[in-house]
């Protein structure tokens, strides 16, 4: 007997494929900005899988603001979408943030006691050829549903060096992903998945 229903098992295999523990995933473009109290925008935003057990995905994440790099871990609960053709959901709960500021050879580290509230993302689009995906979420404030385009470091769309200027890679994705980025549609796009090539750990 299968451990999970077929659709749920396929969803877990999808996340095992995309969130490959050997590959770093970078944020390429977002329809919103993460702006700190200093007025600086977060750059070089990336994550990497720590583990995937049953329906819980754990990631290590980091971003850079000015001379400060912030690292933290995120625990994500994976669930099927509610309704036919609805996107799978990812309820992400961040842990404590550790920030390190480097000036010359000197470093100063701060461990934040503040924890962010969980956020529910929708895994809206996946392109297995270009190794990229589109996530959306709705916090209930304008512009309501917003988008994030993420891709593997090995993807030709991505700049794995995360240059100081944080140049956004050219958007040569399929038209559907571009429509997501322009906020024109938010329907879940299914895709062919070779279940034999996916290993759920």
pLDDT 10s digits, 187-199:
444 443 333 333 3
- Token pair 């890679």 is at which residue? 169
Contact criterion met (CB below 8 Å) for 35 and 41: yes
pLDDT confidence bin for 134, thresholds 50/70/90: confident
- Which pair of structure tokens corresponds to residue 63? 């971003």
- Which pair of structure tokens corresponds to residue 201? 């750990």
Asked if residue 23 has pLDDT above 80, the reply is yes
Asked if residue 77 has pLDDT above 90, the reply is yes
Contacts of 40 (CB under 8 A, 6+ apart): 65, 66
Please compute, for residue 47, the number of CA atoms within 13 A of its CA located in the half-sphere on the CB side.
23
The predicted structure's pLDDT at residue 91: 95
Contact criterion met (CB below 8 Å) for 124 and 135: yes
15-19, 116-120, 121-125, 156-160: segment of lowest average pLDDT: 156-160
Higher pLDDT, 127 or 190: 127
pTM of the model: 0.72
Higher pLDDT, 173 or 43: 43
- Which pair of structure tokens corresponds to residue 108? 């100063």
| Whether CATH 1.10.3470 fits 6-197 | no
User: How many whole angstroms separate alpha carbon 83 and alpha carbon 196?
Assistant: 26
Segment 136-167, tens digit of pLDDT: 887 766 555 667 777 776 655 544 444 332 33
Domain ranges for the chain = 6-197
Closest CA to 125 of 79, 172, 54, 178: 178
User: How many whole angstroms separate alpha carbon 111 and alpha carbon 71?
Assistant: 10
State the DSSP code for 197: G
Contacts of 51 (CB under 8 A, 6+ apart): 57, 58, 201
What's the rounded mean pLDDT across residues 55-62?
A: 94
User: How many whole angstroms separate alpha carbon 38 and alpha carbon 41?
Assistant: 9
- Token pair 């512009």 is at which residue? 143
- Which pair of structure tokens corresponds to residue 60? 């290590």
């Amino acid at each position: 007997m299968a451990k999970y229903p077929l659709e749920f098992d396929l969803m877990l295999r999808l996340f095992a494929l995309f969130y490959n523990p050997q590959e770093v995933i970078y944020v390429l473009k977002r329809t919103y900005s993460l702006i700190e109290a200093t007025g600086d925008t977060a750059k070089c935003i990336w994550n990497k899988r720590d583990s995937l057990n049953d329906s819980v995905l754990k990631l290590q994440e980091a971003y850079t603001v000015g001379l400060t790099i912030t690292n933290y871990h995120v625990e994500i609960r994976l669930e099927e979408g509610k309704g036919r053709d609805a996107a799978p959901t990812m309820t992400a709960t961040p842990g404590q943030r550790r920030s390190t500021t480097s000036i010359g050879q000197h470093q100063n580290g701060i461990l934040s006691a503040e924890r962010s509230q969980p956020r529910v993302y929708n895994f809206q689009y996946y392109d297995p050829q270009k190794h990229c995906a589109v996530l959306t979420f709705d916090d209930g404030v304008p512009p309501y549903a917003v988008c994030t385009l993420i891709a593997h470091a090995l993807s030709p769309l991505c700049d794995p060096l995360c240059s100081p200027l944080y140049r956004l890679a050219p958007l040569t994705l399929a038209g559907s992903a571009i429509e997501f980025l322009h906020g024109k549609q938010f329907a879940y796009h299914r895709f062919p998945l070779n279940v034999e090539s996916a290993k759920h750990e």
